[in-house]
């Protein structure tokens, strides 16, 4: 028994971008087991008691772990300095009432 039936769906469309100030802007799209009907211009309803995500950024020099209560997160350039410059991997998973989703992942290059 792996608990797949109680996991939220994996978030999708994870985007990582460094803005002009050197901050890391992350955004993704949540998915829900309650929003399986395709209705234009309507957000997917949340199937969990709370909207919460675990975000992990692994850089050459360290790791940053944060929680977000919406499908976006900004890390300042001073926070990113702890990760070092160069390649970094980013993973986001939704925390559900009974289990966490599988992670959506992407990579970026830190300045």
Domain 4-31+45-110 sits in CATH at 2.60.40.10
Contact 43, 94 (CB under 8 A): no
For tokens 């969990």, name the residue: 48
Ranges of beta strands (E only) in 1-111 are 12-18, 24-29, 53-58, 63-68, 72-75, 86-94, 104-110
Reported as a single tens digit per residue, the pLDDT across 28-58 is 998 876 666 666 666 666 767 788 999 999 9
pLDDT digits 0-9 by tens, 88-101: 999 999 998 888 88
**Paired tokens of 23:** 């901050």
pLDDT confidence of residue 28: 96
The Cα 89–Cα 16 span in angstroms is 10
Token code pair at residue 104: 């959506």
Q: Tell which residue, 109, 107, 25, has the closest CA to residue 72.
A: 25
Query: How confident is the model at residue 7, as a pLDDT?
Result: 85
């Amino acid at each position: 028994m792996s608990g797949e039936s109680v996991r939220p769906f994996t978030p999708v469309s994870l985007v990582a971008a460094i803005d002009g100030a050197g901050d890391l802007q992350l955004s993704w799209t949540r998915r829900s087991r309650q929003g399986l009907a395709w209705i234009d211009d309507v957000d997917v309803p949340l199937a969990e008691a709370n909207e919460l995500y675990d975000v992990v950024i692994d850089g050459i020099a360290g790791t940053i772990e944060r929680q977000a209560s919406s499908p976006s997160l900004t890390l300042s350039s001073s926070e990113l300095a702890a990760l070092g410059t160069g390649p970094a991997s980013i993973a986001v998973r939704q925390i559900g009432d009974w289990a966490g989703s599988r992670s959506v992942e992407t990579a970026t290059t830190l300045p």
